[in-house]
C-alpha cells in the first residue's frame, strides 16, 4: 500500500464515521459539527484526486460560510430534541427502505459508468493536456460560460434559504423581555415622572423617624 492509498482509506474511514454520527447524534449542534468534519474529509479526498479547486472551495464555502451559518441557526432556533426524536423508531423502517433504494441506484449508476473509463481513455486524456494545464482556469471558464445559468439559480436558492433562516429566528417569543420601539418613541416626560407636593411637617417627621 502506497502513501496516497493509506491516506485515502484514512480519510474515507473518518468521512464514513462522521456521516453516521450526523444522523445518530442526539444534539443538533453535535450533528452540525460532525457534518463539518465530514466536509473537511471530503475536501482532503478532493485534494488526493488533484482537484485542488474543489477541495479549497469545499473548505472555504461550506466550512467557512454555510456550515457556520447552519451552526448559528441551529443554536438560535432553540430546538426541542425530545420532540424531534419522538417518532424516530416509528419512521426508522421507512428511512432504511429509502436509504437502501438510494444506495442501489447509486451503485447501479457507478457500476454502469466505471467500465467506460478504460486505461486507454485515461492515457489519451492526460496526453491532451500540457504540463502547465490549470484545473482552476478550466473550471472557471466552464462555470461562467456554459453553466452560468445554473450558478445563478443556485445563488438564488441559497439566498432564499438565508432569508428563511432569518425569518425563523425572528419569530415572536413570549419569554423575552423585548419592548416595542414604537412605544418608546411615543413616550413623554410627563408620563415617566410625577412630582408630588409633600408638606414640610411630614418631611420633618420623616427625618425624626430616621434619626
The DSSP secondary-structure symbol of 133 reads -
> Tell me, what's the pLDDT at 106?
83
> Tell me, what's the pLDDT at 127?
47
The predicted model scores a pTM of 0.53
CB 26, CB 85: distance < 8 Å: yes
32: cell is: 452540525
> Tell me, what's the pLDDT at 101?
92
Closest CA to 15 of 35, 41, 36, 33: 41
C-beta neighbour count of 48 within 10 angstroms: 14
Q: What is the mean pLDDT of each run of 10 residues along the chain (211 residues)?
A: 84 92 82 87 88 83 75 69 70 86 86 59 51 72 85 87 78 68 77 74 73 66
- Which domains are present in the chain? 1-81 (1.20.120.1200)
Closest CA to 59 of 46, 49, 70: 46
Amino acid at each position: 500500500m502506497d502513501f496516497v492509498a493509506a491516506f485515502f482509506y484514512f480519510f474515507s474511514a473518518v468521512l464514513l464515521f462522521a456521516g453516521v454520527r450526523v444522523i445518530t447524534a442526539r444534539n443538533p449542534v453535535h450533528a452540525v459539527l460532525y457534518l463539518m468534519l465530514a466536509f473537511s474529509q471530503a475536501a482532503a479526498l478532493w485534494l488526493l484526486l488533484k482537484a485542488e479547486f474543489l477541495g479549497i472551495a469545499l473548505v472555504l464555502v461550506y466550512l467557512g460560510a454555510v456550515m457556520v451559518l447552519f451552526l448559528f441557526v441551529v443554536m438560535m432556533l432553540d430546538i426541542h430534541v425530545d420532540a424531534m426524536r419522538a417518532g424516530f423508531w416509528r419512521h426508522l423502517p421507512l428511512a432504511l427502505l429509502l436509504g437502501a433504494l438510494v444506495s442501489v441506484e447509486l451503485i447501479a449508476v457507478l457500476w454502469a459508468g466505471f467500465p467506460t473509463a478504460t486505461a486507454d481513455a485515461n492515457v489519451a486524456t492526460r496526453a491532451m493536456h500540457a504540463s502547465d494545464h490549470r484545473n482552476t482556469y478550466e473550471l472557471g471558464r466552464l462555470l461562467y460560460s456554459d453553466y452560468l445559468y445554473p450558478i445563478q439559480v443556485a445563488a438564488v436558492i441559497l439566498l432564499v434559504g438565508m432569508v428563511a433562516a432569518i425569518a425563523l429566528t425572528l419569530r415572536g417569543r413570549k419569554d423575552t423581555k423585548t419592548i416595542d420601539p414604537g412605544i418608546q418613541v411615543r413616550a413623554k416626560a410627563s408620563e415617566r415622572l410625577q412630582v408630588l407636593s409633600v408638606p414640610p411637617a411630614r418631611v420633618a417627621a420623616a427625618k425624626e423617624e430616621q434619626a
